[in-house]
Amino acid sequence: MTINATLRKDDFGSAGSRRLIRQGSFPAEVYGKDVNMHIVLNAHDFELALRKVKVGSNVELVVDGKSYNCIFKELQENIMTGTLVHADFQLV
């Protein structure tokens, strides 16, 4: 499964995350041995991908044209509104 993302270069913190969520995106983290990236995912596209991908699945993450093989580690969701809040991916 391929998931598209963009690199998050500014507007960090909880206020920046809330702004992303209001715009229809949400923050995520890619971590590995030598790499730690902050990325932004489109919430609607990711919810469609969740029909095929579960936590612990291998996914191909495309960040600004560069492909990474990752394991989908965690998803945080606001239980009151049902919106996605944060996701974690680990490089393989």
Give percent of the chain above pLDDT 70.
Answer: 100
Structural domains in the chain plus CATH codes: 2-91 (2.40.240.10)
Model pTM score: 0.86
- Judge whether residue 11 has pLDDT over 80: no
CA-angle at 19, arms to 14 and 21, nearest 5°:
95
Residue keyed to tokens 């612990």: 56
What pLDDT, on the 0 to 100 scale, is given for residue 15?
86
Which pLDDT band, with edges at 50, 70 and 90, does 22 fall under? Answer: confident
CB–CB of 75/87 below 8 Å? yes
In this prediction, residues 39-63 reach a mean pLDDT of: 90
